[in-house]
Every structure is written in structure tokens, then in C-alpha cells.
Amino acid sequence: MAAFLIRRLIQGAIVVALVATLVFLLIHAAPGEPFADSLENPSVSESVRQTWRQAYGLDRPIGEQYARYVAAVFQGNLGFSTSRHRPVADVLADALPNTMLLMGTGLALGLFAGIAVAVAQVRRRGRRVDRLLSGVSLTFLAVPDFWLAMLVLVVFTRLFPLPIGGASDLFIDDFSTVGRIADRAKHLLLPALTLALLYFPIIARHQRAALLETLPAEYVVTARAKGVRESEVIRRHALRNAVLPIVTLLGIAFPALLTGAVFIERVFSWPGMGLVIVESIGSRDYPLLTSSVILSSAFVVIGSILADVVRRSLDPRIGDER
Amino acid sequence: MKTRALAIAALALGVAACGDESARRSTSDTGGTLVISVGGDPETLFPPLASTTTGQMIGDLVYDRLAEIGDSLNTVGDYGFQPRLAKTWDWAPDSLSIAFHIDAGARWHDGRPVRASDVAFTYRMYADSVNGSPFSTALESIDSVTASDSLTATVWFGEKSPMQFYDAVHTMLILPAHIIGSARGTALRDPSIARNPVGSGRFRFVKWNAAQSIELASDTANYRGRANLDRVILTIAPDFNTALTRLLGGEADLIEQVPAANVPDVAGDSAIRTILISSLDYNFVQLNLNDPANAGRPHPLFTDRELRRALTTALDRRRIVRNAYDSLASVAIGPTVRAYPTTDTALRQIPFSRDAAVRTLDSLGWKDSNGDGVRDRNGRKLEFALSVPGPSKARNTMAVLIQEQLRQAGVKVNIELLDFAAFIDRENKRNFDAVFHGWHVEPSPGGIRQTWGSAGAAPGGTNYGSYRNTVFDAHVDSALSSTTLAGRRKHFTMAYQTIIDDAPAIWFAEPKRVMAVHRRIRTPGVRPDAWWAGIPDWSIPAGERIPRDRAIPPR
């Protein structure tokens, strides 16, 4: 296992370095430069623009900019955001916890709902409930995330006294500790629910297929022959073995914990990484975009390694096969 | 469309009534919270570097100028200017300096007194090239600023000009020297300066939750009297639909600009009223007079003045603007806005006539020789690319209509939708045939030298189409050096008429701003150049307050 981990980590580091280099070169090659908003101001003189370029090192050759950036990153300095006038590390430190909270909650809710729906479908496979839940899953799978987010926002805030976007109340500083927790939960509810509605059909469909493949297995037939109740058979015998595809799926979804869901963050004014990345592309904020991509590609690598480790521990045969 | 037109008509009728009512019912009652929905964070709250609208709004509320421009937006002499940090001012007999007498009661929000040395310090902050203030160009007429005594700051000029008072007071928000100290250049990014402003305005800064909200509170001990409202909170909603939902749901009180398509949504809500503001914006299709492939050569199409005029003639601009903005924009009349007192709104326009355009193009030798619907001459098609910034819905709509109307005249337009950074890049590199551009202008019309004059045609300038006409330049110079409104108006009229006749651009819309605000908020003094300038005098009657108005503001 140790050799496997070391090998995967080295591979991962190479992938992250390549992705970061590629993004750095691509964003510099894209037309436009930082400060585009300000540059449209007719009173900004060329000498002022030159001052800004010098201040951010943008007047140097791209190779030198890259070398300086890499050197700074190795010293723990992610650079200075040109669009937000803040250290990149501060911007990420603000956005990252929000995204992890939202995506973690959304994924957990989606996972729970997806597995529950799959189990319900398998227990009544071929019947009306199975077909109905398949239809519901397919519907949510087909719905564009932006539209669903807007729908959830408008409908639920009209039906219930829930906040319309944002991560916290404007007056949260006046609240007690319990009040603050409750307020955060209230603000989290709708974006997390939207994410769950988007994730659960994927989980449900994969889980249902995996369960149906497992049910004819000899150990399941044996359990039934012993008189174990159907719900027990599915929960204790079939589900445990059918969970591997979901682990792989979660490994793929893991990077989303960091990169966020752009449209959902936008609709719910959730100050997370998705918005940071999109806005940094629009404003050609080179240091912020490159650092965000380094982090997200690192998460892809970590997610993939974690998924492999979990799969190996759940099914030792995977390790033997290699 | 009918509902939308009715709503807009109702809005227009309601504006005058609401404006009067607001002014009359503004009381001395203090209290309440104004929640403004904005699209994003400002980049910095350090005024010399704050170039976004949100950054400038907060700067104007937290800091003071020496004097404030009046509602008439006069920029000649000191007529109409209102005292702020400067209680009075004296002109030198030769008019080469102005001595500003600082209000002895003025205090920074940390309690320290405002001094003349702060004014001199502020000038250095704006003018020092190391700091890279985008506003430094506006201070070029100022030689220096000195502190004659602790409460007298003198602004010195190299030469007399009609706008020297405006130049002295409008750009600079006076900064506290004791807080910023010796910081220069990149040191001004420090959060203690960039994210924690200490000013002397009627609102003081409280806190900034990145990407969520920014809070200001009334400075209760302010030398000009406390603001009526207890606090102003800017809440950030990147998506306009979310901002609108917040407004309609009562979580926000104000959206500064509602697109025409959404006006019926707000007009139909009895808790919301709309305010129509003449904005200082105009947009146009700018034709590149130089060849984008080789800036040293004339453009193969647009160097021909008659062809440019024919393109304008072929376009029904009134219909195009109406389609994009409904009744919330006027057809632009040239490189100016109607809100300027120097603008003659009766400028002679190139009239729409497709038949006339067709005749002109025929006479110029542009004919459809192969029947493909596109005119050609000497093997070159009458075809060009029109670059449009993707985020601007109105300009997108107009571009499509332009494409269709010119197609009917045998001209092919290829629309290129670009993201904003790429669009600006094209302009800066002069790498375009035509761009759908818009300018937001200052209260002073002096910026036209850079945007349309020969001075801005050189690389690095903002006359992206490289239009040059010495007659136009001379009229602009004469207008800007004229000391009377009549003189300025006369010369500007001749300058505008010259450029309209030359048609280096096709003028499209002068949009109006529709602001939506909760009905309980009284809003006297909404200025076209800065709608937020009057917020310290806005109020909420005690009987109409909602729970968040009664929340205790932070100390």
C-alpha cells in the first residue's frame, strides 16, 4: 500500500505541475490583460497602465513571470490578486471554507437521498414506484442547474421564511452563538438542497444498477434461502458489495468540494470558489486563477487516490489484481 | 410588450411625483437602514485607486471633497459648488491659485482634526506616478498644493482655465495623512489602507465581509451633521435575478439599475418605486479609420467619408434603440449627452433613408456584381466585423438589428461576441473593423479631447478609431477655454456638428438609468453623475420603518 501511495503521489504532483503550467500559459495567451475594467476609463493614461503592469510584474517576459510565480509558490506565496487587490491566499481562505461547507453538505444529502431512492427502487423493481422514481431521477438529471437553482430560490423563499441567497444574515454579528449557527444553516439549506437535487439522480441510477447486478449473486441467494428479510438482504448483503461504483463516483465528485458549483454559487450569492474562478478568468487575474487551478487539480489527484484507497480496503481483490 | 410599455409609462409618470414627494417629506428624523444590492466587491476602498462604481460610491460616502459639484453639473468657475471640507475659498487676483479654508470642526472618523496638510498630502497621493492612480490625468492642470496654515490649503495652477476650480475639487477625496503615512506604490495595497477607510464623510466604514456585504454607519459626531440613516449596507448578489428577488422579497431596498426587460417586475410591486435618472452614458459603433492589419495605412473601407455616412443613412437608429431599450433610452445625438448644459440637442443628424443609402453606395461603385446579396468593388466585398462585448445585452440586441438592416442595403456585418477583457484588448491594439463601444462621461465634457480628438488617436490613447480632424480639435479647444456657458455651447455645437457630419462612428443610444427603491425611503437629491451623492440626506419616516431599520447600529 505504501509503494502504491508514493507512486500515485508522484504521479499526482506531476499532473498538478503540468496543469498549472498549462493554465498559466493559456491565460496569458488569451486576449486581454488584468485591469480591463479600469482600462476602459478614458482618463487612464498609458503611463498609469505601465505603472500597474510594472507593479504586478506583467511587463516582464512570460518565462520570467512563470519562474517568479513558481518560486513564490514554493515559498508559500500564492501572489497578489490583481482584481481584488488582496493576497491570493486571503481570497482563497475566504472562499474555500464556504465551498467546502456547501459542496460537502450537498454531496452528503445527494448521496443519502440517492442511495435511499436506489434501495426503494430495487425493493420494488419493475413496479410503479420504481418507474416513478426513475422518471423523477431522469427529470432532475435533465434539468439545467442554473434553472433549477433559480426555481428553488423563488419557490422556497416564497413558501417559507428562508433567506434569499448569501452565506449569512447582514446582522449576524448581533446574533448569539446558537443564532449564528442557525442562521448559517438557514442560508445553507437552499443551495445545498439544489446541489442534492442535482447529485441524487446520478447516485440513484448508478446505485440501482449496481444493486441489480449484485442481487443474483450466490451470497444474496443464500441469505434469502436462510429466510433473511428482503430489506436486510439488500441493506446488509447487496448494498455493501454494490457500493464500489459509488465510491468511484465520489472520487470523481471530490474536486467539486473545492471548485464549487459556479451557477449555484452565483444564483444563491454564495461566496465560494466557483465564483472566484469564473471571475478571475473574466478579469484575467493570472495569480488568482493559476492558484485556484493548482488547488483544484491537487484535489482531483487527492480525490482519485482516496477513491482507490477506499476501494482497495473495501475489496482487497483490487489490490491483488495489480 | 404592451404590458412593458404601460409599466414604463407608469414609471415615467411616477418619477416626477415621487421626486417632489420625496423632497417635501424628507424630515429631520434619523434612523433606519438602507440595503443596496450591488453586483460585486469593489477592488479597493482607497479612493485614488478605486475605479469601480461600488468603490467610488463608498469613497464618496466615507470621504469628503473640498467642495461638491452642484445639481446643475456646472464645471465652469465655482458657480453651484457646495462647501464640504472647505467652508470658504478665495481666488488669487491672478486666478492662478485658490485658497481653501478648511472647516475647523472637521474631524476624521478616528477623532483627529482634518488639516490643510491632509489636502496637500492627498494631492501627492493622487499625482505621484508610483501610486498609479487612474485619476492622476485629471489633476494635470494643478502645479502643486501647499498648506499656508493648518486650516488653509492653496491649490496652485500653471495657467488659468475655466475648469480649474472643478479640477481642484472634483477628483480628490481628501485622505488622512496620519493614517496612510509614508505608504506609496504597492504598500497602498495593505488592508489597513485598502480595506479599512477612515474618512471625514457623514458615513463611516464599519466592516467588509468579502463577497458578501459592506457596512457603513452614520458618523453621529460629523461636522456637517449626522446622516439621516443609521446605516447603509451594500449586499452583494452577482446574479441580477437574485438581486431582483431580494428586492421584491424585502431583503434589499435598492437596485441601482434595472434593465428595461425587468421594469414591469418592479413597477408591479406596490412596495417599490422607480426613479428615472438621466445618465452620463452614450454608446456607438466606432469605425476604425486605420487598417487593423497595418495601423500606418488607412482602412480599406472606412477611410471613405461618404461610405461611412451611407452606413449611418442605412440604419433606422430610432427603431434599433427602441427595440433594445424600449423607452428607456434616447437616440444618441453625437459624442455627448443631453445632461450637459453645453449640449445643443438640436444638432443636425444624418437622416435614415435606405433608398438614399443604396443610391450613395451605388454611386461609390459598391454593387452586387455576383448576386450573392453583398456589394463588392474591385474584388473586395463590402463586409466588416463588428466586435461587441458579450455581457452587454442591449448592445448585443442592437448589433443583430444593425446586421439585418445593413444586409438589406447589401452590406455584410459579421458579429464577434467577445468577453470584456478580449474586447478591450482589441480596442487597445486597434485590431478591429468596428466596435460597439460605450462611454460613461464625467460631469465635465473635457474628456472628449481623449476620446475623439487627435490627442487620443495615438497608440495608448482612447480615440480607438483614430479619428482626426483639426477643425474638430480647434472647436473643442475653444469650447474648453471659453469662460461663458454660451461660448462653450457655441463651440461644442460646432465641434459636435463636425464629427457628426464626418461620421467616424454611428451614434446609437443614450440610456437612462432606472433605479428601483423601496417606497419607505425618501430620496431627495439624485444626481445624474452620482446617484448616491445625496444618500446622507435620504431618510425613512419613523412610522414606516421595518424591523431592520430599528436594529441598533454598531458603535
pLDDT tens for B429-449 read: 899 999 999 998 988 898 899
Residues of B in contact with A279 (CB under 8 A): 40, 238
Nearest to A164 among B129, B236, B251 (CB): B251
Q: What is the DSSP string of A82-131?
A: TTTTEEHHHHHHHHHHHHHHHHHHHHHHHHHHHHHHHHHHHHTTTSHHHH
Q: Which of residues 163-182 of A touch B (CB under 8 A)?
A: 163-168, 170-171, 173-174
Calpha distance B100→B79 (Å, rounded): 15
Let me know: does A4 contact A274? Beta carbons within 8 Å. Answer: no
Contact A36 B186 (CB under 8 A): no
Per-residue pLDDT of B223-279, as tens digits, reads 999 999 999 999 999 999 999 999 999 999 999 999 888 999 898 999 999 999 988
Residue B22 has pLDDT above 80, yes or no: no
Using a 10 angstrom Cβ sphere, with 0-12 exposed, 13-18 middle and 19 or more buried, the burial of residue B451 is buried
Residue B511 has pLDDT above 80, yes or no: yes
Calpha distance B322→B513 (Å, rounded): 15
Let me know: does B206 contact B216? Beta carbons within 8 Å. Answer: yes
Q: Which of residues 44-63 of A touch B (CB under 8 A)?
A: 44-49, 51-52, 55
Q: What is the 3-state secondary structure (H, E, C) of B135-197?
A: CHHHHCCEEEEEEEECCEEEEEECCCCCCHHHHHHCCCCCCCHHHHCCCCHHHHHCHHHHCCC
- The number of C-beta contacts closer than 8 angstroms across A and B is 150
Q: What is the mean pLDDT of residues A125-145?
A: 92
Residue B41 has pLDDT above 50, yes or no: yes
Give the highest mean pLDDT range of A14-18, A40-44, B87-91.
B87-91
Helices A145-159 and B240-248: angle between axes, nearest 10 degrees: 10
Calpha distance B484→A258 (Å, rounded): 61
Residues of B in contact with A266 (CB under 8 A): 238-239, 242
| Strands B86-91 and B97-102, sheet pairing | antiparallel
Tell me how close the Cα of B248 comes to any Cα of chain A, in angstroms.
10
Per-residue pLDDT of B123-163, as tens digits, reads 999 999 999 898 998 899 999 999 999 999 999 999 999 99
Chain A interface includes B349 (CB < 8 A)? no
Per-residue pLDDT of B273-317, as tens digits, reads 999 998 899 999 999 999 999 888 999 999 999 999 999 999 999
For CA atoms B173, B178, B182, B187, the dihedral sign is negative
Chain A interface includes B424 (CB < 8 A)? yes
Contact A48 B134 (CB under 8 A): yes
Chain B interface includes A86 (CB < 8 A)? yes
Check residue A235 and report its DSSP letter: I
Per-residue pLDDT of B351-370, as tens digits, reads 999 999 999 999 999 999 99
Q: How many CB atoms lie within 10 A of CB B137?
A: 18
* 3-state class (DSSP) for residue B294: strand
Mutation pick from A44, A90, A276, A280 vs chain B, by most beta carbons of B within 10 Å, is A44
Contact B43 A83 (CB under 8 A): yes
pTM of the model: 0.88
